[in-house]
Amino acid sequence: MLHTMRWFGPNDPVSLMDIRQSGCAGVVSALHQIAVGEVWTEAEILERIAIIEKDNDKFSELKWSVVESLPVHEDIKKGLPTREKFIENYKISLQNLAKCGIKTVCYNFMPVLDWSRTKLDYTMPDGAKALRFVWIDFAAFDLFILKRPEAQNAYNEETKAAAKVRFECMNEAEKAELQNTVLLGLPGSMEAFHLETFQGLLNNYAKIGADELRENLHYFVSQVAPFAQELGINLCIHPDDPPFPLLGLPRVVSTEQDLEMLMNASPVKANGITFCTGSLGVRADNDLVTMARKFADRIHFVHLRTTKRETEYDTLVFHEAAHLAGDVDMYGVIFEIIKEEKRRIGQDDAQIPMRPDHGHQMLDDLQKTTYPGYSAIGRLKGLAEIRGMELAISRNLKE
Nearer to ligand DNO (CB atom), residue 75 or residue 241: 241
Sign of CA dihedral 67, 240, 326, 256: negative
* Nearer to ligand DNO among residue 40 and residue 115 (C-beta): 115
122 is catalytic: no
* Catalytic, out of 12, 258, 357, 365: 357
CB of 28 to ligand DNO, least distance (A): 9
- Binding map of ligand DNO across residues 215-254, x = CB under 6 A, - = no contact: -----------------------x----------------
How far are the Cα atoms of 179, 180, 307 from residue 191, in angstroms, in the given order? 12, 9, 25
Q: Is 272 in the site for ligand DNO (CB under 6 A)?
A: no
From residue 368, give the alpha-carbon distance in Å to each of 109, 211, 365: 31, 43, 5
The yes or no reply on residue 34 touching ligand DNO (CB under 6 A) is no
Among residues 303, 319, 323, 360, the one annotated as catalytic is 303
Q: Tell which phi-psi region holds residue 50, choosing left (phi > 0), alpha (psi between -120 and 50) or beta.
A: alpha
Q: Which of 73, 319, 358, 360 is catalytic?
A: 358
Buried b (16+ CB within 10 A) or exposed e, 336-355: bbbbbbeeeeeeebebbbbb
* Residue 24 binds ligand DNO (CB under 6 A): no
Q: Binding string, 70-109, against ligand DNO, x = CB under 6 A?
A: ------------------------------------xxx-
115 sits near ligand DNO (criterion: CB under 6 A): yes
Distance in angstroms between the alpha carbons of the first and the last residue of the chain: 19
Q: How far is the CB of 352 from ligand DNO (least distance, A)?
A: 17
| 187 makes contact with ligand DNO (CB under 6 A) | yes
| Among 69, 93, 118, 306, interactor with ligand DNO by CB under 6 A | 69
* 29 sits near ligand DNO (criterion: CB under 6 A): no
Amino acid at 178: L
Residues annotated as catalytic are: 238, 276, 303, 357-358, 374
The residues of the shown chain that bind ligand DNO, judged by CB under 6 A, are 68-69, 106-108, 114-115, 187, 238, 357, 373
